[in-house]
Amino acid sequence: MKKTNQTLGEFIIENQESFKYTSGELSRLINSIRLAAKVVNHEVNKAGLVDIVGDYGSQNIQGEDQKKLDVYANETFIQTLINREIVCGIASEENDSFITVHGNNKDHKNKYVVLMDPLDGSSNIDVNVSVGTIFSIYRRITPTGQPVEMEDFLQPGNQQVAAGYIIYGTSTMLVYTTGHGVNGFTLNPAIGTYYLSHPDMKFPDDGNIYSINEGNYIHFPQGVKDYIKYCQEQRDNDPYTSRYIGSLVSDFHRNMIKGGIYMYPKSSSAEKGKLRLLYECNPMAFIAEQANGKASDGFQRILDIQPTELHERVPFFCGSNKMVEKAEDFMKAAHPKEAKTTGA
């Protein structure tokens, strides 16, 4: 039985043997992410007091305005991972291409690559709404001893060895999985230690919260419109409610605890959707499935999609099993040709 007064460090050590690769590298990698998250958390919490909110004055590879905290978080996570010589490669939503990392001897012997969204929901920074960090970890597939290549990063989500997120909110939490369930740790800011606060996190099998930007309704595919209408009509049974924060980590976290579905479909204004497969959808899908949930692009399992580029976007439906399945039913009914193409 998991102890809720257990620190994250103690938990990692105690559960290291359950991971099939027991060299200790993955444990050190999670510890590095923990450290970087504490540094970023400190800056997020004082953002209103210093000149770190607002636009940075440039755009990322997606053409989106970067916020100052975006850049700070990106640099903090990258430098922490590089300095501890644990990974052989890093890919970030904020960078055009991946970063090759080598040890002091330039031997490229490390086995893991990390993909991350360093500050998800950053458009909410200036209005004091929860933001987060999302990370995804894979074992490299090219031989050790040489620089990483693109194929090390373009792996389907079902090859992830760990994934997680940090939510910087009223309390700061680190939630992660290594394929043996999902556990959440809350930071005690007085002593800088994470404690196990949410052991064995699970999505309720069903829920009544749907999270989507309904302002884009007119641009949504018909299947999504039909599902939203269905949600709005569930009044006599278990009333549905619309809750949308605009920060994937925040919306996902709430829905995992309370039961719900998060949707960011493709639209006439975003033909492939908006969320990135490698930095957002794959890690959240891995967490969802480990927490008794489901993640789909509307027709097929997210974790089975073969990526073709670093910044690839896909539609995303994620949450309680029955809600995602119902959304898929509406998508397949309204778009049978797409369902047939994907084999759904």
Check the annotation: does 119 bind a ligand: yes
Distance CA 315, CA 313 (A): 7
CA-CA distance, 289 to 13, in Å (whole number)?
24
Amino acid identity of residue 307, one-letter, is: P
Give the whole-angstrom CA distance, residue 312 versus residue 320: 25
**Best CA proximity match to 130, nearest among 47, 210, 211, 216:** 47
* 266 labeled part of a ligand binding site: no
**35 labelled ligand-binding:** no
Does 244 appear as a known binding residue?
yes
Q: Is 149 part of any known ligand binding site?
A: no
117 is in an annotated binding site: yes
- Tell me the C-alpha to C-alpha distance, in Å, between residue 127 and each of 48, 122, 153, 196, 341: 9, 10, 34, 29, 42
122/47 Cα distance (integer angstroms)? 12
First-to-final CA distance of the chain: 39
277 is in an annotated binding site: no
Is 73 in contact with 40 (CB distance < 8 Å)?
Answer: yes
Instruction: Tell the residue number behind the tokens 């620089």, with chain if given.
Output: 147
What is the rounded distance in angstroms from the CA atom of residue 161 to the CA atom of residue 187? Answer: 24
Q: Determine if residue 18 is labeled as part of a ligand binding site.
A: no
- 287 vs 172, 178, 215, 244, 311, CA distance in Å? 18, 9, 28, 20, 20
- CA-nearest of 38, 151, 19 to 88 is 151
> Distance of alpha carbon 160 from its chain centroid, rounded?
12
Residue 326 assigned as binding residue: no
Cβ 138 vs Cβ 160: under 8 Å? yes
Angle made by CA atoms 193, 199, 202, in degrees to the nearest 5: 135
DSSP state of 250: H
Binding-site residues from annotation for substrate: 120-123, 213, 244, 274
Binding site listing for Mg(2+): 93, 117, 119-120, 280
Q: Which residues are annotated as a binding site?
A: 93, 117, 119-123, 213, 244, 274, 280
